[in-house]
């Protein structure tokens, strides 16, 4: 088991960091940053794991995670990072993993380049963490389906061109009751709500999608009818691993900044880092970072070797999401009064990290999964 970057991965990491090093970005932007999105597309970030014949880089899971870690480290706008991850992991990867060749050829080139923005639409108001209690339906109509229902809290929904939508096709078939479809955002029967205001990740637009007798051709089905649960589970393995690699990058940048402050700020004629109250916070931040990094890359390694389990991705997701919140609180304390001043961006980091304990399955759901894997 080897987690160090090879030469190709290191070159990709350095190229991404260099591309963002001198790029100005508002740390708490409130609008979708189209210019930065296009820059992600040019770097290949929006199609990392897409096969090369469809315009992607053909990266494996670990390489995808390294690239997203670089983006999290270099890009000051965590909302953009989150929007790019949602596009790649919740919309693009289901098509890559289980889509037919015609569907891949039709959708992946524009998604990989960023010309199309993707969204993954599973969550509903009445279902929440019980994702398979959804009420959105897809009823057979000739060679296609009629889609009816509403999805909520969908990242990129207000601007998405391509949506991976999960709906009930066989309500009495248990695990096989749902299916996954690729839906064009411009087709009749699709409507969107306004972007909702959130605690953080402001430049990642989130909203609802409504489907009113929306006709979806049969060739837009991902996999086979009844495979919605399988499509979603495979997407979640990528998302709960790779998305949080981006947060490892952010935690690395955050720690480096806090160490600089601890060394450069003096109180009572010595650097504040010489005080155990500050130094021990930094030690804990380093511990959380490295432990989280190991869990993420172990999960990615298992995806690449074909041994991925729910336990791997849930441990990684839980560890990183909660570590990022605690380390953001520590960063505020280390910065003192500057930590709560908006212009420094430190408080913004905390707001951006709080949603991590909710999306991609709440911390409580991850603990539920871990307990189930322990046989409890």
Identify the three-state secondary structure at position 288.
helix
Out of 225, 239, 260, 343, pick the active-site residue.
239
Q: Angle 244-264/276-305 helices, nearest 10 degrees?
A: 160
Going by C-alpha positions, the residue among 139, 120, 121, 118 that lies closest to residue 210 is: 121
Identify the three-state secondary structure at position 153.
strand
Q: What is the DSSP letter of 178?
A: E
Residue 67, burial from CB neighbour count under 10 angstroms (0-12, 13-18, 19+): buried
Q: Does the annotation mark 239 as catalytic?
A: yes
Per-residue burial over 291-327, b if 16 or more Cβ lie within 10 Å, else e, is ebbebbbbbbbbbeeeebebbbbbbbbbbbbbbbbeb
Segment (H or E) for 35: helix 34-43
Length of the chain: 376
Q: What is the DSSP letter of 195?
A: P
- Give yes or no for a contact between 317 and 324, defined as CB atoms under 8 angstroms apart: no
Going by C-alpha positions, the residue among 83, 72, 71, 70 that lies closest to residue 31 is: 83
**Mode of pairing for the β-strands spanning 190-192 and 178-184:** unpaired
Residue 328, burial from CB neighbour count under 10 angstroms (0-12, 13-18, 19+): buried
Q: Which residues are catalytic?
A: 239
């Amino acid at each position: 088991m080897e987690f160090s970057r090879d030469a190709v991965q290191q070159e990709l990491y350095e190229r991404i960091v260099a591309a963002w090093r001198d790029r100005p970005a508002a740390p708490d932007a409130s609008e979708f940053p189209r210019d930065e999105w296009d820059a992600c597309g040019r770097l290949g970030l929006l199609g990392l794991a897409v096969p090369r014949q469809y315009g992607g880089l053909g990266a494996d899971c670990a390489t995808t995670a390294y690239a997203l870690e670089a983006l999290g480290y270099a890009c000051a706008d965590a909302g953009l990072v989150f929007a790019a991850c949602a596009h790649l992991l919740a919309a693009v990867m289901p098509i890559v993993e289980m889509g037919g060749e015609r569907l891949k050829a039709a959708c992946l080139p524009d998604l990989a380049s960023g010309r199309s923005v993707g969204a993954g639409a599973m969550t509903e108001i009445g279902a929440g963490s019980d994702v398979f209690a959804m009420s959105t339906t897809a009823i057979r109509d000739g060679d296609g389906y009629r889609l009816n229902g509403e999805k909520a809290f969908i990242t990129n929904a207000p601007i998405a061109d391509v949506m991976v939508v999960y709906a009930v096709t066989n309500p009495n078939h248990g695990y096989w009751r749902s299916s996954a479809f690729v839906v064009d955002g411009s087709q009749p029967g699709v409507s969107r709500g306004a972007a909702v205001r959130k605690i953080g990740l402001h430049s990642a637009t989130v909203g609802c999608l409504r489907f009113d007798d929306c006709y979806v051709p049969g060739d837009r089905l991902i996999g086979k009818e009844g495979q919605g649960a399988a499509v979603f589970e495979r997407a979640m393995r990528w998302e709960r691993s790779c998305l949080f690699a981006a947060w490892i990058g952010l935690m690395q940048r955050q720690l480096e900044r806090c160490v600089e402050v601890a060394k450069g700020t003096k109180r009572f004629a010595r650097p504040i880092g010489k005080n155990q109250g500050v130094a021990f916070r930094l030690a804990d931040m380093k511990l959380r970072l490295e432990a989280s990094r190991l869990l993420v890359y172990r999960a990615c390694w298992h995806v690449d070797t074909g041994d991925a389990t729910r336990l791997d991705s849930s441990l990684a997701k839980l560890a990183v999401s909660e570590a990022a919140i605690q380390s953001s609180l520590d960063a505020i304390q280390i910065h003192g009064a500057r930590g709560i001043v908006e212009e420094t961006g430190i408080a913004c980091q905390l707001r951006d990290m709080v949603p991590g304990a909710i999306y991609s399955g709440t911390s409580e759901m991850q603990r539920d999964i871990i307990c189930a894997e322990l046989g409890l």
